[in-house]
């Protein structure tokens, strides 16, 4: 195919990526944005297959001496088919509660893909990795793609384990951890220098392995980078997972962009830069919403220790519980109600019954809104996705900053499985790990109903002062069942 047409296809794909990501910023346009980005990727893949260099480098389908068919198009086609089947099945069977860990795995697979592309390019037959003016960009990009791709892969797998409950969501800290991380980082930097200078300072083969010195350095870099991904994410608590996912998403995009430089593919560079930049922006926004820096996120071990707090053991106050029937009487008289969803709503799959209760409250004359904290749930935008699935009107979804000034005017605030994002300790208790974090000021509503399965702490392991406030009443039990029962009470009229 004419190279001009292929270049034009790459431009079209890049434009579709840009518009697709732009439309992902709003709930009502997110689905079309996803389709535009998918279309752009399809065009990019087809263009790659039509590249003259790609066609020339792949054999025509003859078998080698061992009987293996050499046609690269056949193997790529089979890989695409297998991946499409897995993706289609996975998208059908995954529950909304499993979406955060699925996104974490997507990030990990993206990092692994970049790692494999860069590694394959290093071992490509006839390749020369002696640093020169002609290959400086590709050689630097190759090492960094391996480094970032490996960190993203193991970090994302660990995040998946924490989110899915396969391993504890609590931070794992040990004495001298920062020193160990510093040594690993130093090893990575040293490996980078040695890789670039190996043809001059380490010529020939390694005496221990019999492999070329540069090959040994690359294999060592892969191992150390995979280890670094574990050591970076291990001390981060479950309460910070939404920000971690966003950061890993950014790293997967950066790794993809670097892989694009390695194989000299412009559209991969563009797509990777878009994902990397948008991930960084989202990470900064979420860190701001938690009043924390990225450095504090990565190295503080948030939630590792219990908050000492200003209260002593003898000051414990039992939260006051209320029945569904009594809660209904308050809601029936309410003229303004705000729902504050958290991960508990996702676990209970309660978004549809919440929408039903909201509709009945509106029919009863109440103004209904939803207050969404930027880090509510286990991934960026988790609550928005759930509520959009239930067809909650977009204009009812309010950000924390939009809703807080009106919270004192709300007759009822209904907290559904949220914990840290409504915890007054963030403003009142300097000893709390979340002190300084902006929260939804649910306690300022006239009455607060908190829906929880039991009396346990939230995912981050921090006690919530809201639960013992005078205007707060707990409704224990499954959120979906509780909301359904409240909705049914309106139907008895």
Active site residues: 420
Alpha carbons within 13 A on the beta-carbon side of 12? 15
Which residues are CB-neighbours of 248 under 8 A, at least 6 positions away?
Answer: 104, 107, 108, 111, 152, 155, 156, 159
Question: In sequence order, what E strands does 150-263 have?
Answer: none
Instruction: Give the whole-angstrom CA distance, residue 228 versus residue 205.
Output: 27
Angle 333-337-341 from CA coordinates, rounded to 5°: 140
Q: How many CB atoms lie within 10 A of CB 457?
A: 13
Instruction: Give the whole-angstrom CA distance, residue 326 versus residue 329.
Output: 5
Instruction: Give the whole-angstrom CA distance, residue 13 versus residue 41.
Output: 6
- Map residue 339 onto helix, strand or coil: strand
Which residues are CB-neighbours of 21 under 8 A, at least 6 positions away?
Answer: 33, 37, 274, 278
Q: Tell me whether strands 412-416 and 447-452 are parallel, antiparallel or unpaired.
A: parallel
**Which alpha helices (H) appear in 94-135, and where do they start and end?**
99-122
CB 195 within 8 A of CB 123: no
Residue pointed to by tokens 């008289």: 333
In DSSP notation, 25-70 reads TSHHHHHHHHHHHHHHHHHHHHHHHH-HHHHHHS--S-B-TTS-B-
Which of 272, 270, 269, 258 lies closest to 139, judged by CA?
A: 258
For 54, 70, 78, 265, 321, the CA distances from 59, given in Å and listed in that order, are 10, 6, 16, 21, 72
Instruction: Give the whole-angstrom CA distance, residue 251 versus residue 115.
Output: 12
Which of 288, 262, 42 lies closest to 136, judged by CA?
A: 262
Which of 352, 236, 212 lies closest to 295, judged by CA?
A: 236
CB 111 within 8 A of CB 252: yes
């Amino acid at each position: 195919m004419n190279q001009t047409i292929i270049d034009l296809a790459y431009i079209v794909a890049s434009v579709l990526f840009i518009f697709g990501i732009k439309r992902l910023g709003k709930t009502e346009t997110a689905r079309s944005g996803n389709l535009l980005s998918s279309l752009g990727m399809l065009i990019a893949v087809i263009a790659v297959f039509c590249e003259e260099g790609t066609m020339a480098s792949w054999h025509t389908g003859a078998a080698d001496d061992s009987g293996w068919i050499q046609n690269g198009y056949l193997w790529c086609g089979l890989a695409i088919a297998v991946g499409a089947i897995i993706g289609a099945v996975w998208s059908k069977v995954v529950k909304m509660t499993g979406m955060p860990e699925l996104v974490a795995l997507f990030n990990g697979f993206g990092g692994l893909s970049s790692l494999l592309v860069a590694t394959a390019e290093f071992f490509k037959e006839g390749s020369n990795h002696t640093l020169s003016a002609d290959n400086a960009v590709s050689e630097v990009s190759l090492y960094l793609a391996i480094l970032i791709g490996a960190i993203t892969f193991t970090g994302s797998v660990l995040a998946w384990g924490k989110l899915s409950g396969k391993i504890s969501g609590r931070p794992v800290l040990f004495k001298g951890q920062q020193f160990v991380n510093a040594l690993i980082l130093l090893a990575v930097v040293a490996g980078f220098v040695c890789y670039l200078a190996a043809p001059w300072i380490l010529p020939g083969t390694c005496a221990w392995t019999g492999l070329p010195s540069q090959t040994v350095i690359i294999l060592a870099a892969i191992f150390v980078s995979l280890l670094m991904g574990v050591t970076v994410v291990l001390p981060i608590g479950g309460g910070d997972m939404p920000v971690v996912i966003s950061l890993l998403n950014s790293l997967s995009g950066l790794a993809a962009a670097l892989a694009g430089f390695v194989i000299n593919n412009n559209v991969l560079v563009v797509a990777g830069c878009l994902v990397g930049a948008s991930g960084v922006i989202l990470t900064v926004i979420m860190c701001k919403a938690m009043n924390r820096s990225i450095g504090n996120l990565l190295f503080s071990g948030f939630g590792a220790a219990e908050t000492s707090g200003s209260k002593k053991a003898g000051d414990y106050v039992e939260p006051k519980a209320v029945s569904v029937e009594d809660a209904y009487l308050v809601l029936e008289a309410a003229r303004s109600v705000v729902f504050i969803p958290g991960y508990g709503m996702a676990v209970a799959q309660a978004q549809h019954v919440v929408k039903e209760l909201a509709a009945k409250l509106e029919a009863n004359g109440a103004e209904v809104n939803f207050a969404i904290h930027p880090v509510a749930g286990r991934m960026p935008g988790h609550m928005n996705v759930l509520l959009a699935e239930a067809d909650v009107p977009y204009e009812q979804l309010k950000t924390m900053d939009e809703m807080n000034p009106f919270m004192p005017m709300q007759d009822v605030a209904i907290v559904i499985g949220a914990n840290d994002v409504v915890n007054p300790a963030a403003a009142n208790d300097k000893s709390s790990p979340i002190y300084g974090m902006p929260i939804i000021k649910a306690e300022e509503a006239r009455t607060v109903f908190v829906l929880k399965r039991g009396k346990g702490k939230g995912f981050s392991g921090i006690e919530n002062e809201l639960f013992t406030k005078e205007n707060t009443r707990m409704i224990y039990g499954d959120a979906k069942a509780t909301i359904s029962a409240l909705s049914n009470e309106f139907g008895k009229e």
